[in-house]
Every structure is written in structure tokens, then in C-alpha cells.
Amino acid sequence: MSVPMLDMKAQYATIKTEVDAAVAEVLEMQHFRGGPITEAFERELAAFSEVAHARGVSSGTDALLVMFRAAGIQPGDEVITTPFTFFATGGALVNAGAVPVFADIEPDTLNMDPERVRELITPKTRAIVVVHIFGQSANMDAFMALAAEHGLMLFEDNAQSLGARWKGMRTGSIGYGAGVSFYPTKNLGGAGEGGAILTNDDKLAENVELFRCHGSPAQYEHIVVGYNSHLHAMQAAILRVKLRHLEAWNAARRAVAAEYNRLLADVAEITLPYDHGMGEHVWHQYVLRMPRRNDCVKIFKEREIGHGVFYPKGLHQQTCFQGITKAGPCPETERACKEVLALPIYPELNPAQQAEVVAAIKDHLSA
Ligand SMILES: *Cc1c(COP(=O)(O)O)cnc(C)c1O
């Protein structure tokens, strides 16, 4: 029995009538860019995320780029972030003119380590970008304290963690601004690319509106050079439907994670994902660590079991960043890159499928 990494058709089957009606409504309306449906979604997303403002853009990558520009990140500003993340976190910083400075991670949570960040702060440092990796909040108490102490902006990359919490607060509502992604495989995935910026700051929200629309406060007036980046009504209509199910889906992911933890608890060679228990984890990925990871990947491939290596390389090791970024020593990141393996996790994953995944791991370890 093959097991997919993600089963989007299974999810669609559970909400088809709602989604199809929402799409039909947009087609009847013929209002595709901005408009009442996009604005309604922005309000609902802000309410869900417990922030004052949400503003849609074309992707999670654009959310970060537009947010950094709107916040006034200037060419040459140093911005400290994690090397253990998807490329976009670093790429958006470079495209905003900043110099990413990579700080190593905590070996247990795989989130950026506040102590490593502290060591890299210089007079050129303007901001910190925290990524809540795999759906679990970073240590926001420590990062808020660091940012306040040094007068830095604190941003959250909330692409993998929509719905998560840190001590009762939603991730994405804690820093100055946050980026969200609606890439189809994210916990809240659209039917194509999409993203949003979250903030409690009125001025930042206003600047985001400016930057997402060619720096134009009024038609044919342009006061800064911005972007053309919008969340389209078709995406917003589908995301409105799916947002209503997100809490239940995230709870289902937690149940899947708990079941993997139970099934793998007695396997000595494996390090299970660490849950710090300081808030709700939304399990965008279930990532464990194991010896001879690459051999296990071979077995998964033979048996057609979905898996992922997030991430095989730290951003500080990426070719395109050499010479234009900085980094502290990153031994924990480099060790994690050799050991991590992501297992299939999604709300519709069933016990028989999970048993299949676990059998493959046990067969690998006994080989
Ligand atoms: C997915 C992701 C992004 C980028 O989002 P896109 O919508 O794919 O552009 C940024 N940061 C992280 C951590 C992500 O996982």
C-alpha cells in the first residue's frame, strides 16, 4: 500500500460543495482583484490570527518581501534569521536589499536559538526574523526581550504555523509583522499561490497596501517603487471556506502526530519531534531524526511512501548566498540536515497508512 505525503484530493472531497459554490460566486461576480470577497477573507484571517490587520498578496514569499519593504528595511541592513528554513525567508531579505545573518538553531525544537542571535547583533542589525518551523512557535519571550533590548524590529515567518500559539498568543500576532503562505501544501492551502501579511500596527498595514500596489496611494500617483502583488478573489473565496475548517484540521494533525509518537516511542535509535508544550503546535510537518537517514529514504521510495527531507542544506550553505550573507557557526543546523526525515502528515491520514509508514522505519532500522 503506497502512502502519499499529502492527499489534497481527499481533503477536497470533504468540502467540495462549499468550495464549488464559493468559486461559482466569484465567477458570477466577475470581480477578480481585490473587492468584497478578498476583503472579507482579510477580515476573517485577521480575526482568526488575533491581529488588527491582514493584507493579502500573491504568495508567502511576496508577503515577506512586501512586509520588509513596507517596514523600511534599507539596503545594507543586517537581519538575523535562521538557516534552517525554506529558501524564501532568506531570498526575500536579499531581494529587499538586506544582508541576512544566519544564527544557529536549538537542537531539540529546530527553531532559531535566541542565544546564538544575541552573539550576532551588531550596530548594523535592524531586525530579527523568526520562523516557527514545522508549525511550532519559536521562543517568543526570548526574541521579544532581545528585540526590545536592542531596538530591533521583530518579524515572524508564519508560513508553516497558521493557528499555532505561544503561551496563548497566536503566532503571527506577537511581533511587528508576520508573513503567511497559502501555497497549496500549507496547513491552509489555496488553489495556487497566495499569501498575507499580519500586523497590529496601523502604519505598517497602510504601508503594505502602498507597496503591494506599485507604491500608489491614488490612481497614477506613485510615491515609492513597490510591487504588483495581490490575493485574488478566487483564492480568497476558497480560503474563506477552508479557514472555517482550519482549527479542526490542525487538531487532526495533532492526533496524527500523537499516534506517530506512540507508535515510535519504543524505537531507541529515533529522536522524536520535540514539543516544548508552551503553546499549540500545528504540525505542518512531523520531522524526526535518525541515523542513516538516506538509507531509510531508499526504503520509503521502494515502498512508495511519501517523505521529505526538510532541509537537506542550511541557507548559509546555499550557493547563491555566498558572499552576500553572513553567518555564525551553525553546527546544529548542519547536523540536523543530515538526520531529519519528515513523515506523511495531514488531517485525512488514517491508522492503516500510519502503520505502513512506521513499519518501513522499523524495517530500515533492523536491516
Ligand atoms: C512556504 C514558505 C514560504 C514561502 O511561501 P510561498 O507561498 O511558497 O511563497 C516562506 N517561508 C517558509 C518558512 C515557508 O515554509
Give the Å distance between the CA of 294 and the centre of ligand 1: 25
Atom of ligand 1 nearest to the CA of 88: 10
Residues of the chain by 3-state class (helix, strand, coil), percent to 5: 45, 15, 40
Give the Å distance between the CA of 319 and the centre of ligand 1: 19
Task: Determine what percent of the chain is predicted with pLDDT higher than 90.
Answer: 98
Give the Å distance between the CA of 64 and the centre of ligand 1: 9
Residue nearest (by alpha carbon) to ligand 1 atom 7: 60
pLDDT given at position 367: 80
Average pLDDT of the chain to the nearest whole number? 97
Closest among 254, 44, 56, 281 to 163, alpha carbons compared: 281
Give the Å distance between the CA of 195 and the centre of ligand 1: 9
144 — pLDDT class (breaks 50, 70, 90): very high
Closest among 306, 287, 248 to 6, alpha carbons compared: 306
pLDDT given at position 103: 99
Q: Is the pTM of this model over 0.85?
A: yes
pLDDT given at position 26: 97
pLDDT given at position 291: 85
Q: Is the CB of 285 under 6 A from ligand 1?
A: no
Asked whether the beta carbons of 294 and 283 are under 8 A apart, the reply is: no
- Whether 140 shows a pLDDT value over 90: the answer reads yes
Residues 302-319: pLDDT tens digits? 999 999 999 999 999 999
Task: Determine what percent of the chain is predicted with pLDDT higher than 70.
Answer: 100
Give the Å distance between the CA of 89 and the centre of ligand 1: 7
Residues 173-186: pLDDT tens digits? 999 999 999 999 99
Closest among 205, 129, 209, 219 to 174, alpha carbons compared: 129
Residue 267: exposure state from Cβ atoms within 10 A (0-12, 13-18, ≥19): middle
Q: Is the CB of 195 under 6 A from ligand 1?
A: yes
128 — pLDDT class (breaks 50, 70, 90): very high
Give the Å distance between the CA of 60 and the centre of ligand 1: 5
User: Strand (E) positions, the chain?
Assistant: 53-57, 78-81, 99-102, 125-131, 153-157, 165-166, 169-170, 177-181, 195-199, 286-289, 326-327, 340-343
Q: Is the CB of 63 under 6 A from ligand 1?
A: no
* Cis amide leading into 176 (omega within 30): no
Could you tell me the three cell numbers for 106? 536549538
Closest among 3, 51, 101 to 305, alpha carbons compared: 3
Q: Is the CB of 311 under 6 A from ligand 1?
A: no
Average pLDDT over residues 211-228: 97
1 — pLDDT class (breaks 50, 70, 90): confident
pLDDT given at position 309: 98
